[in-house]
Amino acid sequence: MTEIIDGNAVASEIRDGLTDAIETLADAGARPGLATVLMGDDPASQTYVNMKQRDCEEVGIESHHVDVDGDAPSEDLFDTIAGLNDDPEIHGYIVQAPVPDHVDYRDVIRRVDPTKDVDGFHPENVGRLVAGDARFRPCTPHGIQKLLESARVDTEGKDVTIVGRSDIVGKPLANLLIQKADDGNATVTVCHSRTEDLGEKTRNADVVVAAVGVPELVDGSMLTEGTVVIDVGVNRVDADTEKGYELVGDVEFESAEEKASAITPVPGGVGPMTRAMLLYNTVKAASMQEDVTVDLP
């Protein structure tokens, strides 16, 4: 039987585990605060930001939101960032990507106070992660590690093939999984659009992580019997549904399920974990800034 790894259930456990820590911080007069910043009015980004605020409310994190006009100069966004860096009630914040074309996203990331960078994208935090001393693990890779742990997948000595080398998923996940650590110690292959014979790389793996953004790129023929499959992709494809589309992953679920020992569904796999780990990082940020010790799940 193939195990379907239930991201909603694991995320719910993480959120429950955070509630005690949040109350400990609140009792110490330091309720965690997360801000979201949205420049422009991209509907998908608005949805993501709304979900993050709702998640905060559910667990007792104070949520704040700042809208910046999409046509405003970069300096307006930079002023907002400077304000959040100085605001003691904001322990962490995210600037929702993508930002408008006239804004340099790298410049945005560099301006975020690294101790409030709950996305874990600031170069200082990236460097710390690579050096094995992570302050904030980026939410999606950290969520994937938690999913593997929940499915009792020990990565030590395993061959892991990651398809995708983005700064937010593929690269940080590869760096986490090669760490000399209980949730690392894997041998990692990172694939991308120039990789030759992708199927050979995925068939050689004990664990395949697909983070590509190409609907159903990885199918059962590219997997060996017993592989653990983590599907990060969220792709809208036209479908005869009320909304006119459906969400599919980067893995063709039906054929992959036949080969996999465990697999994440889309939706309901990695997505809820990304959201839960943002809450985790916010609580960690508050704990460090307020010097209040808490147990993290």
Q: Which is nearer to ligand NDP, 232 or 260 (CB)?
A: 232
Tokens of 47: 């949805």
DSSP 115: G
* Contact call for residue 198 and ligand NDP (CB under 6 A): yes
Burial 254-269 (b: 16+ CB within 10 A, else e): ebbbebbbbbbbbebb
Residue 142 binds ligand NDP, judged by CB under 6 A: no
Minimum CB distance to ligand NDP, residue 214 (Å): 5
Of positions 85, 195, 255, 289, contacts ligand NDP by CB under 6 A: 195
Among 194, 197, 225, 240, binds ligand NDP (CB under 6 A): 194
- Count the Cβ atoms, other than its own, within 10 Å of residue 37: 21
52 catalytic? Reply is yes
Interface with ligand NDP, residue 106, by CB under 6 A = no
Tokens encoding 178? 């090669």
Contact between 260 and ligand NDP by CB under 6 A: the answer reads: no
Residue type, 76: D
Close Cβ partners of 252 (under 8 Å, ≥ 6 residues apart): 216, 218, 219, 220
Structure tokens, 211:
């983070």
Piece in contact with ligand NDP (CB under 6 A), picked from 38-46, 62-70, 128-136, 191-199: 191-199
How far apart CA 258 and CA 256 sit, in angstroms, is: 5
Contact flag: residue 223 with ligand NDP (CB under 6 A): no
Q: Which residue is nearest to ligand NDP (CB)?
A: 166
**Residue 138 C-beta: closest distance to ligand NDP, Å:** 9
Residue among 274, 281, 282, 287 that touches ligand NDP (CB under 6 A) = 274
Told to check if 140 binds ligand NDP by CB under 6 A, we report yes
> According to the binding rule CB under 6 A, does residue 193 interact with ligand NDP?
yes
Q: Is 171 a catalytic residue?
A: no
What are the DSSP E strand ranges found in the chain? 3-4, 33-39, 62-68, 92-95, 159-163, 187-191, 207-210, 228-231, 235-238, 245-248, 262-263
| One-letter amino acid of 136 | F
Residues 9-38 interacting with ligand NDP (rule: CB under 6 A)? none
Ramachandran category for residue 89: left, alpha or beta (phi over 0 → left; psi -120 to 50 → alpha): alpha
Catalytic residues: 52, 96, 119
Question: What are the residues binding ligand NDP (CB under 6 A)?
Answer: 140, 163-166, 168-170, 191-195, 198, 211-214, 217, 232-235, 270-271, 274
